Amino acid sequence: MDSRSALPAGKDVRNHLSEAGIYPTSQRQALAGILFNRHQHLTADQVYERARREGIKVSRATVYNTLNLFVDKGLLREIFVNASHTFYDSNVHPHFHFYNIDDGQLTDMEGRVADDLIMQNLPQGTVLDGVDVVVRVRNHS
Amino acid sequence: MDSRSALPAGKDVRNHLSEAGIYPTSQRQALAGILFNRHQHLTADQVYERARREGIKVSRATVYNTLNLFVDKGLLREIFVNASHTFYDSNVHPHFHFYNIDDGQLTDMEGRVADDLIMQNLPQGTVLDGVDVVVRVRNHS
DNA sequence: TGATATATTAGATTTAGTCCAATTCCATGA
DNA sequence: TCATGGAATTGGACTAAATCTAATATATCA
């Protein structure tokens, strides 16, 4: 996991939201503070639990609303690793993920699929939205 | 979608199951008949509905048990495209998927990620289980 | 200030998937 | 042929992620 800030240097949370066309309410700023202070992979429930632990007054519905909004606006990326866990990744730059099916760990890996290969094969009448690469791994022996 | 049989020529459903170390009960044979007669992507519920429509006596629990068993034994591949849809792919050979977020369509694409790139980056103490590439697309304009 | 649009909320609802305990199936051996 | 026991199947209860709803709160602007 990359521990650098997910925010470009010198850019605060409010700016980050405003520039994405998101009205910076107090809940959104607080959740953004949790999500964007470093690259990480969190589930909706983990975000909710962290928020509560930090004393932020927010409901589960708002956590989901906000996560979906951030995804729509390109600030977060959703990663589907199995039927019961959606992760939200604050690193929206192209990269792969390792998913350990034994312990649920999700880690990053440099890499991207050749654009031209994909563009040449796009189904008729569609445009590219994103590429998700999940490499499933198991603990050895 | 590839419409060729997912079964090698001259190999029937019973053999396919037995060779995978799966005891070929009547429900399993019936479900295998639905799943493996051609390459396709089905959800658990679609499998259940087709089975019922064909007059196969089977419960939802058995559909889930059987799908999970087939996945464990390498006969099916799970594809997670969003939080509420798991597809089962009867093509277990390496390939990519296009997922149309507007209409839910899932289609195949030739392609694979370079093995050496992945092997060089495997997390400590893990072994490769599989690589899932999902290219999200939207309908144009 | 009042009017309006947007955001938040608790709790109900939905739904994919799993769990459970009872029943059925079936290969084997006496 | 029948009895035995392990495996498979079953309906229904259950779980948990995510969405929906309608009421309330908050912010903007005329």
- Residue A7, pLDDT > 70, answer no
The pLDDT-based confidence of A8 (bands split at 50, 70, 90) is: low
Which chain C positions come under 7 Å from a protein C-beta? 6-11, 15-20, 25-26
Return d(Cα A130, Cα A127) in angstroms, integer: 9
Q: How far is the CA of B25 from the C1' of C24 (A)?
A: 13
Intervals of chain B under pLDDT 70: 1-11
Q: pTM of the entire structure?
A: 0.92
**Digit-coded pLDDT (tens) for A121-133:** 999 999 999 999 9
Using one digit for the tens of pLDDT, what is the confidence trace for A61-70?
Answer: 999 999 999 9
How many A/B residue pairs have CB atoms within 8 Å?
Answer: 110
Question: Is B133 in contact with A113 (Cβ distance < 8 A)?
Answer: yes
Q: What ranges do the domains of chain A cover?
A: 13-137
Q: Average model confidence (pLDDT) for chain A? A: 93
Q: How confident is the model at residue A116 (pLDDT cuts 50, 70, 90)?
A: very high
Cβ pair A126:B139 closer than 8 A: yes
A13-137 has which fold?
Arc Repressor Mutant, subunit A (1.10.10)
Measured between alpha carbons, how far apart are the two ends of chain B, in Å? Answer: 24
Residues of B in contact with A80 (CB under 8 A): 80-83
Q: Quote the CA–CA distance of A129 and B10 in Å, as a whole number.
A: 41
Chain B environment of A132 (Cβ under 8 Å)? 132-136
Q: How confident is the model at residue B14, as a pLDDT?
A: 87
Q: Residue A12's pLDDT is what?
A: 83
pLDDT number for residue A141: 80
Q: Which residues of A4-33 are buried (b: 16+ CB within 10 A; e: fewer)?
A: eebbeeeeebeebbeeeebeeeebbbbbbe
What CA–CA distances, in Å, run from A11 to A8, A15, A41, A48? 6, 6, 21, 24
B83 and A82 within 8 Å at the Cβ level: the answer is no
Q: Is A1 on the interface with B (CB under 8 A)?
A: no
Considering only CB atoms, A135 lies closest to which of B78, B80, B118, namely B118
Listed in sequence order, the residues at least 6 apart from B15 whose beta carbon sits closer than 8 Å to its beta carbon are: none
Q: Tell me if chain B has a CB within 8 Å of the CB of A10.
A: no
Q: What are the tens digits of pLDDT across the range B105-136?
A: 999 999 999 999 999 999 999 999 999 999 99
Asked if A125 lies within 8 A of B140 by C-beta distance, the reply is yes
pLDDT for the residue numbered B100: 96
Strand pairing partners for A137? Answer: A100, B128
pLDDT of residue B12: 83
Q: What is the pLDDT of residue A5?
A: 62
Task: Report the pLDDT value the prediction gives residue A2, as an integer from 0 to 100.
Answer: 56
